[in-house]
Amino acid sequence: ANPRCLKNVHSLPCDYRANQWAWMTQDLFNEWLLQVDTWMKRAERRILLLIDNCSAHNMLPRLERIQVGYLPSNCTAVLQPLNLGIIHTMKVLYRSHLLKQILLKLNSNEDQGKVDIKQAIDMIAAAWWSVKQSTVVKCWQKAGIIPMELTDSNTEAAAIEPDIAIEKLWHSVAIATCVPNEINFQDFVTADDDLIISQELMDTEVIQGMVASENTDEAGSEDEGEASLPQQPKITITEAISSAQKLRRFLSTCVGVPDAIFGQLNGIDEYLMRRVTQTLVDSKITDFLQTKYVGINCLF
């Protein structure tokens, strides 16, 4: 619930919640559902949300902008777009990020430490953002929910290239880390496919979970193996701006950098500069008011 790696972390690219079994529960699902309903209300939209009938979806809250439709029982593997390629694509991308981290550490002779929750969150978010809209559309078409359209052969050919790069990456890491030859990248991707993610709880398990949660809140919690790690120094806004400038200079020395990369970097620059200028403006106003307050006191 309170891993050391999230200490002093106030913004994440996701909603982070803890659960003793790492399951999706009714409370967690309903909290997210109400959040989405609020977003739709603000955007003045109404949506249809298709879900399966797992135990976490059985008791829904009252919703204003979301109409929920249940998929037929025991048809998840053939009717749910997420299970027809979207989740698998995201997992391929996530495991690729993981392999890149391992390869970088191998080349720098760093110890292969465990991936902490913060690192995993960042890689999972990056993987989700990299899932193409066309992938999502094709999976909906495969489920038969939206009409099939002609597929552009050029798009299909382009999609093969990243797979070759990933296989090369896997081969390099597998050799360096002595992975048995009979294990391939797809085995690595699907290793947790059969993991239980939701289940009906017995009353005794509910009570145990509540007690464990209370104990965690009182004592705090740390990831296994993190207790001995030194606390990371806080990065100042000035250091962050300097790092962004160094990144820009580095990219300028590279060949064939896409314009979109510089566009993303500009967005980071704008955000950091907005933060620092607002801080400076607020401090100047505070200094001015304090000066005026002292001056008035002197007059009296």
Q: Where are the domains of the chain?
A: 21-70
Q: How far is CA 156 from the centre of its chain?
A: 27
Q: How far is CA 255 from the centre of its chain?
A: 30
The token pair at 166 is 């990933």
Classify the C-alpha dihedral 243-244-246-247 as positive or negative. positive
pTM metric for this prediction: 0.74
Locate the DSSP E strands across 47-172: 47-51, 66-70
For residue 12, the one-letter residue type is L
The closest alpha carbon to 125, from 258, 219, 235, 12, belongs to 12
> Digits of tens for pLDDT over the chain (300 positions)?
889 999 888 889 999 998 888 888 999 999 999 999 999 999 999 999 999 888 899 899 999 999 999 998 888 888 999 999 999 999 999 999 999 988 888 887 767 678 899 999 999 999 999 999 999 999 999 998 888 765 554 444 444 445 788 888 999 999 988 999 999 999 999 998 888 887 766 555 555 555 555 555 544 555 554 555 556 678 888 899 899 999 999 998 999 989 989 888 998 988 888 888 877 766 655 555 565 555 555 555
The token pair at 257 is 């950098």
